Chains A and B, each alone.
Chain A
Amino acid sequence: DIQMTQSPSSLSASVGDRVTITCRASQTISSYLHWYQQKPGKAPKLLIYAASSLQSGVPSRFSGSGSGTDFTLTIGSLQPEDFATYYCQQSYSTPYTFGQGTKLEIK
């Protein structure tokens, strides 16, 4: 199975900050990497697919980059509604594993 490792596991930041979350795959996954946002008690929401494509309706302050084994999710200027948990997921091969999550908290 492909292991997905996110860092950091948690992060404190302020409104207006620029934030970067990283995701590393245990083997190459090309660009089969997706990012999700989850708020407490809610289903995850797709933000970025195929490493760098912005899902329809997602604000442009979210961006993704990377290919192979190393990927990043960047939030350009944090808004209050962005405080949530973020997950990466690979769909290169089954099982479609997720990272352990990064909890973004208000500083």
Chain B
Amino acid sequence: QVQLVESGGGLVKPGGSLRLSCAASGFTFSDYYMSWIRQAPGKGLEWVSYISSSSSYTDSADSVKRRFTISRDNAKNSLYLQMNSLRAEDTAVYYCARTGRQYGSDYWGQGTLVTVSS
């Protein structure tokens, strides 16, 4: 069955960096676009970034552009989010999700919590 497992979250100081990972299994990872979506405590969902199946195309929300970088390693069935210059407002649960323009995000991980605080 499809599984997505995020890791790498934790407590980081403002201005710091963190790298999230998402391990995928149960499907042909290299065939699918993937996304990162976040949810601040008690708030709604916010699309963060996505990457095409071959990494040829990426896009990100303005709120994270030039600070966050999405990448993937199809040989390792893994998705990544490099987060730099972190701010308090980046505090959220970060989900990875299998995504398609025609069908939305059909599988999600359990999420990993990122807390940005001094």
Contact = CB atoms under 8 A, between A and B. Distances in A.
Interface string A3-22: 00000000000000000000
Interface centre among A91, A94, A96, A101 (most CB of B within 10 A): A96
Interface string B74-118: 000000000000000000000100011111111011110000000
Task: Specify the main secondary structure of chain B where it touches its partner.
Answer: strand
A100 interface: yes
Contacts of A95: 47, 59, 61-62
Nearest to A89: B104
Contacts, number: 63
Interface residues on B, range: 20 to 34
A98 B44 contact: yes
Interface string A52-80: 01010000000000000000000000000
Given A43-B110, A87-B44, A100-B44, A49 B102 contact: yes
29 contacts: A1-B62, A32-B102, A34-B103, A34-B104, A34-B105, A36-B104, A36-B105, A38-B45, A43-B95, A44-B95, A44-B105, A45-B108, A46-B103, A49-B103, A50-B103, A53-B103, A87-B44, A91-B99, A91-B100, A91-B101, A91-B102, A91-B104, A94-B50, A95-B62, A96-B99, A98-B46, A98-B47, A99-B44, A101-B45
Interface of B: 35, 44-47, 50, 59, 61-62, 95, 99-106, 108-111
